[in-house]
Chains A and B, each alone.
Chain A
Amino acid sequence: MLAGLAGVLSLDATAFFQSMISRPLVAGIAAGAIVGDLGLGLVVGATLELVWVGALPVGAAGFPDATSGAVVGTGVGWLLGGGGGDRAVALFGGVVAGLVAGAVGRALVGLLRRANERYAARALAKASEEDARGVGEAVALGLLTRFGLGAALTAGFLWAWSGLPAGPPSSGNAYPALLWAAPLGAAAVAARAKGAADRWLLAGGFGVGLVVTLAVRGGL
C-alpha cells in the first residue's frame, strides 16, 4: 500500500497537476495514516519538508524524490519503532532513510528522463507519419514510468529494511523533533531573500511565533 501511495503521489511532483499533494508533509501524513501512526508520519514528513523546502524542480536541475522519501521515511520509522512509544530511534532512522531514499530517487529521475526521451522520439516518428496518437502514448508511458519508479523505490527500501531487526523499544520523548530541521528550512528561505525586508519579516515571524507559542504554553 505504501509503494502504491508513493507511486500515485509522486505523479504530482512534476508529471501531472503539481497540486503539491506530493510534498513530504502531505505524503508523510498520508503514509502515517496508512500505518496507523499519524504522529510519526507528521514528524518525518514535516522534517523532510523543511530540509527540502529549497529544492526546486526548475528546468533541467535534479531534485530529490521528496514524495518517496517521506513515504519510505514513515514506513522505516514504523518498522523501527513498531508504531508506538519513544520516537528517538524511529524518527532518526525514518528521517535518515527518507533522506537517502530521496537522494536515490534523484538519481532515478535521470532514468525517467531518458525513458521519456525515447517515448518522445516515438511520438515524433509517428507525427511525421501524420499520426497524433504517439503524443498521447508518450504522455501515458511517461506517467506509468513515473508511477513505477516511485512505487519500486519505496517497495525496495521497505523490503530491504524489513529484513533488518527492529529498533530498541521506545521510551519517552527524547528527540528534539524539528529543532534542527526548522532552522535549516528557514535558512533556505533567508538565502533566497531578495532584500532586507524579507529577512526582517523572517525575524519578526520568529519573534511573534516565540511570544505566541510561549504564551499559549504558559511559558510567559
Chain B
Amino acid sequence: MLHGREDSRETRLLGRDLLEVWVRSLFLQSAWNARGMQHVGFCFAMLPVLRRLDLRGRQARAFLERHLAFFNTNPVLSSYAIGAAAAAETRGPDAQEPSPEEIKSALAGPLGMAGDSLMWSSVRPLAAFVGLALALVGRPIAGVVALLVVYNAFHLVFRWRGLVAGVSKGTAAVDEVLGPGFRRLVTLARGAGAFAAGVVVAIAVVGSEIALPAALVVGGSFFVLGLAACAARVPATLVGIGGAVGGLLFVALR
C-alpha cells in the first residue's frame, strides 16, 4: 500500500492546518452524489494535509485517489474520520497503525449510526420544537435564535471535538460516540424533543381560538392520522397537503 510519504518521518499538522481542515469539512456534502457520496467533500477537507506533506507526482495522485474513494457517514460526526485519516497520513508507511483507507472504512458505519441517531433523530427535532414553541407564543426572532443555538451547540462542538479527537486518538476516538455517555446524551435529547413537541401541540390547540374540547378532538384526530401515516410510510408532504385541506374544510364547515 502506498502511503502519502515514502520516508518514515512523521510530519506534524499545525494548528492552522487543522483549522483549515475543519472549515473545509463544512463542505463535505457540496458535491454529494450517489456513486461516491461524500468522497469529493472528504478529499476537499484533506487538501491542507496534502499541502503540509508537500506530496508531488505519483504520491499526490495516490493521496487524491485514496480520498476520492467512496465515503459516507453522518456529516457532523465525519470530523472524527477526517481527523483520524489526516493523522494517519502524517505518520508515514512504517507506522504500525491502520492506513487512511482502513480508518475511513472502519469509522464510517459507527459514526453514521451514532450521528444520525443524535443529530437527525434527536437534536434536530428538539431544536425545531424549542424554536417553534417560542415562535408560536409571539417571539419569532427568539424562536429562530433558539433553534439555531440549540442545534449548533451540539453541531459545532462535535464537529471540532471530533477533528481534534481523531487527530490525537486515531480510530480509538470513535469510542467517544459509542460509549454510555453518548447514549445518555441521545436519550436526553430525544426525550427533551418529545416533551417540546407536546408543548407545541398544546400551544397550537389553545392558540387555535376554537373551543377547547373541539380543538382537542381535532388535534387528537390529526395526531392519530399522523401516526398512521408514519406507520404506513406515507410521504410527509402528502400528509401535509391532506392536513391543510382538512384544516380548511374544518374552518369552512365550522
Q: Which residues of A contact B (CB under 8 A)?
A: 14-21, 23, 25-26, 29, 38, 42, 46-60, 64, 88, 92, 95-96, 99-100, 102-103, 106, 113-114, 116-117, 119-120, 123-124, 127-130, 132, 135-136, 138-143, 146, 173-194, 197-199, 201-210, 212-214, 217, 219
Contacts and interface: CB of A to CB of B under 8 A. Distances in A.
A203 B198 contact: yes
Contacts of B76: 18
Contacts of A205: 194-199, 201-202
A130 B200 contact: no
A139 B204 CA distance: 42
Closest 3 CB pairs of A and B: A205-B198, A187-B226, A209-B202
A201 B226 contact: no
Is chain A's interface secondary structure helix, strand, loop, or mixed overall?
Answer: helix
Interface string B220-253: 1111111101110001110111011111101100
Contact of A26 (B64, B147, B197, B251): B147
Given A20-B127, A205-B197, A138 B75 contact: no
B240 A52 contact: yes
Contacts of B218: 176, 179-180
Interface string B119-159: 01100110111011101110011011001100110010000
Contacts, number: 350
Interface size class, chain B:
35 or more
Nearest to B116: A58
Contact of A17 (B26, B35, B208, B236): B26
A120 B36 contact: yes
B198 A175 contact: no
Contact of B47 (A15, A132, A201): A132
Interface stretch (B85-93, B96-104, B167-175, B209-217): B209-217
22 contacts: A16-B29, A17-B26, A25-B147, A46-B136, A116-B31, A117-B33, A120-B35, A135-B44, A135-B64, A138-B30, A139-B41, A176-B208, A176-B251, A179-B208, A181-B247, A186-B197, A190-B223, A194-B190, A201-B192, A205-B196, A207-B202, A213-B207
A204 B196 CA distance: 9
Nearest to A184: B226
B182 interface: no
